Amino acid sequence: MNKKALIAFSAFFCAFFPPLCALERSGVLDPAWSKVLSADVTLGPKAARNRLFCVTSDNTLHCLSDSGAFLWSKPLKYGQAELLTVTEEGFIYTVSGTGYVSAFSTDGLFLWALSGRRPPVFSPISGRDGRLFLVYSDSITCVSASGARKWSRVLPVPPAFPPVEDGNGTLLVPAREDILFRMSPFGELLETLRIEPLLSALAAAPDGFVCSFASGLIMRVSTGRPGGTVWTATLDSPCTAVAEADGTVYAFCSDGLLVALNTTDGTVLWSQKTGLSGTPATVRIEEDSVYLWNSDRVVSIARNGSSEFSYILFAPVRNPVLMSGDRLFGSGPDWFLYAYRIQTRITGTKNTRHKAQNYGILNGTVPEALYLNPDPYREQLSFLARVAESIQSGTAGASEVYYARRLAAIVGDRNSHAITQGRAAALLGQLGSFEYRPVLASGTDSVQDTSAMIGLLYGIAAIGYDPDGELLDAVRSISRKAGPEEFAVQIAVCDALYAIVRYTSGRSAEAAGFLARFAASPYPESVRKHAIALLANILN
């Protein structure tokens, strides 16, 4: 191999296999691109699905691709936005100073707005099944992804720190007076824990959580076993960020040290200098690396403690956010948005660590005695009316688990009356958890009557979110089963497709294409007009 070829090969090898070429890469990193927005960035940027979202001072919500292309912009209503949340599922939530919560899809479709007397004290918190927690100074309200209120709970002490979900799916709400509330996703106050003063960091861990305090104390707590505290350790300087993954707790200290501790017993495994001392940093774990960054530096530490890279950003940014472990974005002065490519990797060699989780709401049965009622049809009608009233009043709360399990049993029972079967499917969708999608998707096997089909379709429409195409396949199946002339069923099919278009960015084109078929023969005129009206709504 000649010298020129050897140099070229070495450059290629180091670009794609950097851990094998050097212990650490460092230096000043130039922006990969920069974009000028319509005004100064006031919220964000936030990253999701290879897109960036931010709000500017002219109260406009912007969406850009990871390559810097402008995709869409939306002027916001209801007053200047003060809070912004973007979820992994692809929903964007803004909160105005007047208390309005507005929801958008990643395609820029407006979904809904929810009024409030005042704004929450923290950005909306996304739950595991699409539900959203709105934390106010004296209460918590839970709403579904479609904007329906699920429950509200008064807090006896005002919250003092952004809540997180622990490893069991319960909501941890740090409050003033050194109190930590544990609350179920259904609004039940499970436990009030007394903790050390001055909480500095809080993160989920298997079967519980890990937290740290200004004193340097770090604590691992199990909420699924008696006794609670698993271990405590004291670090040389206060910990300002913690994260847990695969049996290791990573604690970032104010002196710039990253410390790895065994999740089981708190043993220190290793520590590594990061160069980030004196300023707060964000910690995120992706595959075999721990990433740390602040406004002017980004660092990567291998899971075994060795340094991978450390870069100073040429133009410091505000609110930096990492995307896929290889790109960092942030806002700058004078209306600028900056992007930095922090490493080059072969597409698909690394993915984020986020795993699909749920609350296990349907992991159980309902008492058999319910099916021994001498008049089951009348009893089921009474039950369905009770569920409908709870949903309408936003008081399902702790009853949601029982409601959902029984509704799912009615939907899947081929012997159910068509009226109760369809009503149960519609109500299950209105309860609003993404965990109910498989029940509705498989409901096509048990429904035969048109009234049951319509109820199932409106249950699907109530959820809308369909990342894997399960619901879209169910809608197709029902449409074929009913036939073109069953106009009431086909109108419900159109409504279900419209909901999938709005709530599922990855399926919107496919669902919209299917919806367009209903605008022509052989469908009845009433179906064609309805499909055309829905398509017009999408385009507008």
Q: How far apart are CA 302 and CA 286, in angstroms?
A: 10
Instruction: Give how far the C-alpha of residue 374 lies from the chain's centroid of Cα atoms, to the nearest Å.
Output: 44
Q: Which residue do the tokens 């720190």 mark?
A: 161
pLDDT attached to residue 354: 47
Contacts 24+ apart (CB under 8 A), 180-185: 180/211, 181/155, 181/157, 182/223, 183/140, 183/153, 184/398, 185/127, 185/128, 185/129, 185/131, 185/142, 185/359
Q: What is the pLDDT of residue 12?
A: 41
pLDDT the model gives residue 25: 79
Cβ atoms of 491 and 523 closer than 8 Å: no
Distance CA 416, CA 268 (A): 58
- Residues contacting 136, CB < 8 A, separation 6+: 118, 120, 121
Q: What is the pLDDT of residues 453-500, one digit of tens each?
A: 999 999 999 999 999 999 999 999 999 999 999 999 999 999 999 999
pLDDT at 263: 96
Residue 370: what pLDDT?
Answer: 57
* Beta-sheet pairing, 289-293 with 60-65: unpaired
Digit-coded pLDDT (tens) for 239-291: 999 999 999 999 999 999 999 999 999 999 999 999 997 778 999 999 899 99
pLDDT, position 4: 41
Torsional class of 214: left (φ above 0), alpha (ψ -120 to 50), beta (otherwise)? alpha
CB neighbours of 341 closer than 8 A, spacing ≥ 6? Answer: 32, 326, 327
Cβ neighbours of residue 382 closer than 8 Å, sequence gap 6 or more:
none
Amino acid at 285: I
User: Pairing mode, if any, of strands 25-29 and 307-313?
Assistant: parallel
Contact, 44 vs 57, CB < 8 A? Answer: no
Whether the ω angle into residue 206 lies within 30 degrees of 0, i.e. cis, is no
Domains of the chain: 377-539 (1.25.10)
- Low-confidence stretches of the chain (pLDDT < 70) are 1-24, 226-227, 345-356, 368-374
Burial class (CB in 10 A: 0-12, 13-18, 19+), 515: buried
Taking the C-alpha atoms of residue 351 and residue 234, their distance in angstroms, rounded to an integer, is 33
CA-derived radius of gyration, the chain: 26
pTM of the model: 0.91
Predicted confidence at residue 374, as pLDDT, reads 65
Q: Under a CB-based contact definition with an 8 Å cutoff, are residues 518 and 483 in contact? A: no
The pLDDT score that the predictor gives to residue 371 is 56
Residue 33 CB contacts under 8 Å (≥ 6 apart), including other chains: 67, 68, 338, 339
